Amino acid sequence: MHQSTYPLMKRIIYIMLLSFVLFCTVSAQAEDSIKVLMLETPYDSLPAEDAKVMNSVSGRVFLNGRYYEGDLNILSDNKGIYVVKTLPFNQYLEGVVASESGNDWELEALKAQSIVSRTYAMFFKTLNAGKNYHITSSVNDQLYKGNNSDSKISRAVKNTENEILTHKHAPIKAFFHATCEGKTELPEEIWDESYPYIRSVDCRNKNAPYENWKRRFSLEIIGRAMGMKELKDIVIDSYTSTGRAKTIKFILSDESSPSVTVKAIDFRKTLGYKEVPSTLFTVSVKNDVLLLRGKGYGHGVGLSQWGALEMARQGKGYKEILSHYYPGAILEHSETLYSRKKEDND
Burial of 40 (0-12, 13-18, 19+ CB in 10 A): exposed
- Domain parsing of the chain, residue ranges: 33-174+329-345, 213-294
Cβ burial 278-290 (10 Å sphere, 16+ → b, else e): bbbbeeebeeeeb
Question: Phi and psi of 204, rounded to 5°?
Answer: 70, 20
Q: What count of Cα atoms within 13 Å lies in the side-chain half-sphere of residue 2?
A: 3
pTM: 0.87
Task: Quick: pLDDT tens for 286-319.
Answer: 999 999 999 999 999 999 999 999 999 999 999 9
DSSP state of 171: B
Task: Quick: pLDDT tens for 155-198.
Answer: 999 999 999 999 999 999 999 999 999 999 999 999 989 999 99
Paired with 176 in beta bridges are 303
